[in-house]
Chains A and B, each alone.
Chain A
Amino acid sequence: MNAIALLGRRVIERVRGIGVATLMLLQILFSVPTWLGFKLFVYQMYRVGVLSLLIIVVSGLFIGAVLGLQMYTILATFGSEAMLGTAVALTLLRELAPVVAALLFAGRAGSALTAEIGLMKATEQLSSMEMIGVDPLKRVISPRLWAGIFSLPMLSVIFAAVGIMGGKMVGVDFLGADEGAYWSGMESTVQFYKDIFNGTIIKSFVFALICTWIAVYQGYACEPTSEGIATSTTRTVVYSSLCVLGFDFVLTAVMFGGV
């Protein structure tokens, strides 16, 4: 009997948590933008977007390089190294750039957001804000959420561009695939709307919303203890990664499944 009650309580807690998170999201998305809000947003763009740039560029370069290396050796066995550019570009644009950038973003920026907001809550900064009549949702949560939503698609596009350059560096410059075939194969297969807009930008927009939403909610709802902050930060990374991978399958099925 107790076990069933426990299960019921868990489910009610989860559903309530999702409800609170959705209300928070809607409140932020439909609030009126202000000048102060924009300034805070720019500062958060710096912290969330610009500071993640290095990890994104470096991992993009290496993932592109690995793709170039692997694809070259595989394609060379069929004598079709000319397809190298197409393979690298499509893999990056459709899958790897949005997914890997989102995973890195969840680890690099999402966890930091959760820890920061959680510590604000633990040291009662959020409740003192409420006390002096400042809405912490507007002042703290909203600029962080918007910054995350806007910076991840930009980071993904940069990731893809750097990755393609990395693939070119290894495949063409080191291994000796034909440079003209690398670019022209890419040009004739990659479609801007389908692969770059749908594949990279829309996908990573969805991932950005999921990752930042989970991060700010976990920070906002965390237990105000040091252990609670640790749990919330871990949850942010785990939930974000799982959601990104799950939604990636759904989005891919919707975008490219029916072709």
Chain B
Amino acid sequence: MKSRTSELAVGVFVILFGIAIFFLAMRVSGLVGTNIADSYQMTATFENVNGIKPRAKVALSGVKVGQVDTITLDPVTRLATVHMTLDGSLTSFNAEQLKKVQQEALDELRYSTDYEAAVPAQQKAMEKQLLDNMTSITNIDEDAYIMVATNGLLGEKYLKIIPGGGLNYLKRGDQIANTQGTMEIEDLITKFVTGGAGSKSSETQEASADAVTSEATDAEPAFVE
């Protein structure tokens, strides 16, 4: 009898251990939580991904829609490519919304000069090609850009997708073209200090104006490319 009770107690102990390790694996490390039913890959190329680590979150309007898988460095362009997994259920249209989006795209196509110039057969072909192109689209449009953002003042870095206003949507597996890498606070301070020092004399005012414009052109590729 004594051995039976002890065996039962050890059984309960082992079950408790199982529950604890399951809890740690699921809730704490999110080990099994990455299995999204409908997931797909996307990439983005950044100038600077300082602070982004694998498993960092990818957010769209503050909602977590995926996570970073790997970060690779292109040896030729010396840019960092971030590969991420996104959740299909949050970043694609349902059937009804897709129809509406397709309708809008068709409307736009019908007003284009190419379309009006074409013969009806070509028009059909163009419409078909447009719809074929829209089979596996996401709700991230081509004008959307992705940036490295910080959670709070000192929090961890994550990727933030900011939707644009475009009518053309990216497909699954595409690359998000518009990126903005990590903003290093030292770089900002350097710019501020060098920009501020120039405005003392009138002669250097031009130089500082130049600096501003060169800054603007410097900053532009970060958004465009």
Residues of A within 8 A of B (CB): 39, 42-43, 45-47, 49-50, 53, 78-80, 82-83, 89, 93, 151, 154, 157-158, 160-162, 164, 183-192, 195-196, 200
Which of B9, B19, B21, B152 contacts A50, CB < 8 Å?
A: B9
Whether B155 is near chain A, meaning CB under 8 Å from some CB there, is yes
Q: How far is the CA of A188 from the CA of B64 in the complex (A)?
A: 11
A190 and B28 contact, Cβ closer than 8 Å, known pairs A42-B10, A43-B3, A158-B16: yes
Which of B17, B25, B67, B154 contacts A196, CB < 8 Å?
A: B25
Which of B9, B17, B64, B154 contacts A46, CB < 8 Å?
A: B9
Contacts of B67 in A (CB 8 A): 188
Whether B223 is near chain A, meaning CB under 8 Å from some CB there, is no
Q: Would A53 and B20 count as touching, CB distance under 8 A?
A: no
Q: Would A161 and B24 count as touching, CB distance under 8 A?
A: yes
Contacts of A185 in B (CB 8 A): 156
Contacts of A43 in B (CB 8 A): 3, 6
Q: Would A154 and B57 count as touching, CB distance under 8 A?
A: no
Chain A's closest residue to B10 (CB) is A45
Q: How far is the CA of A186 from the CA of B57 in the complex (A)?
A: 12
Contacts of B31 in A (CB 8 A): 192
Q: Separation in Å of the A254 CB from the closest CB of chain B?
A: 21
Residues of B within 8 A of A (CB): 3, 6-7, 9-10, 12-14, 16-17, 19-21, 23-25, 27-31, 33, 55-57, 64, 67, 151-156
Q: Would A196 and B28 count as touching, CB distance under 8 A?
A: yes
Contacts of A191 in B (CB 8 A): 29, 55
Q: How far is the CA of A43 from the CA of B7 in the complex (A)?
A: 7
For the residues of A in contact with B, the DSSP-based class is helix
Contacts of B13 in A (CB 8 A): 45-46, 49-50, 53, 151, 154
Q: 14 new A-B pairs (CB below 8 Å) besides A151-B13, A192-B29? A: A42-B10, A45-B13, A46-B9, A46-B13, A49-B10, A50-B9, A79-B153, A80-B152, A83-B155, A154-B20, A162-B20, A164-B28, A184-B57, A188-B67
Q: Would A158 and B17 count as touching, CB distance under 8 A?
A: yes
Q: Would B3 and A188 count as touching, CB distance under 8 A?
A: no
Q: Would B64 and A184 count as touching, CB distance under 8 A?
A: yes
Chain B's closest residue to A201 (CB) is B21
Q: Which of A47, A154, A160, A187 has the most CB of B within 10 A?
A: A187
Q: Would B6 and A188 count as touching, CB distance under 8 A?
A: no
Contacts of B17 in A (CB 8 A): 154, 157-158
Q: How far is the CA of A200 from the CA of B19 in the complex (A)?
A: 16
Q: How far is the CA of A53 from the CA of B3 in the complex (A)?
A: 18
Which of B20, B30, B153 contacts A161, CB < 8 Å?
A: B20
Contacts of B20 in A (CB 8 A): 154, 157-158, 160-162
**9 A-B pairs (CB sep. < 8 Å):** A47-B6, A78-B153, A80-B152, A93-B24, A154-B14, A157-B20, A162-B20, A183-B27, A185-B156
Which of B25, B56, B153 contacts A188, CB < 8 Å?
A: B56
Q: How far is the CA of A204 from the CA of B210 in the complex (A)?
A: 63
Which of A50, A53, A190 contacts B29, CB < 8 Å?
A: A190
Q: Would A188 and B156 count as touching, CB distance under 8 A?
A: yes
Q: How far is the CA of A230 from the CA of B68 in the complex (A)?
A: 58
Q: Would B9 and A89 count as touching, CB distance under 8 A?
A: no
Q: Would A188 and B7 count as touching, CB distance under 8 A?
A: no
Chain B's closest residue to A43 (CB) is B6
Q: How far is the CA of A162 from the CA of B17 in the complex (A)?
A: 11
Q: Separation in Å of the B52 CB from the closest CB of chain A?
A: 11
Q: How far is the CA of A160 from the CA of B30 in the complex (A)?
A: 16
Contacts of B28 in A (CB 8 A): 89, 93, 161, 164, 186-187, 190, 196
Q: Separation in Å of the B32 CB from the closest CB of chain A?
A: 9
Contacts of B55 in A (CB 8 A): 188, 191
Q: How far is the CA of A196 from the CA of B20 in the complex (A)?
A: 11
Q: Would A157 and B153 count as touching, CB distance under 8 A?
A: no
Q: Would A157 and B12 count as touching, CB distance under 8 A?
A: no
Contacts of A78 in B (CB 8 A): 153-154
Q: How far is the CA of A129 from the CA of B177 in the complex (A)?
A: 79
Chain A's closest residue to B17 (CB) is A154
Q: Would B12 and A82 count as touching, CB distance under 8 A?
A: no
Q: How far is the CA of A43 from the CA of B2 in the complex (A)?
A: 9
A187 and B33 contact, Cβ closer than 8 Å, known pairs A50-B13, A78-B154: yes
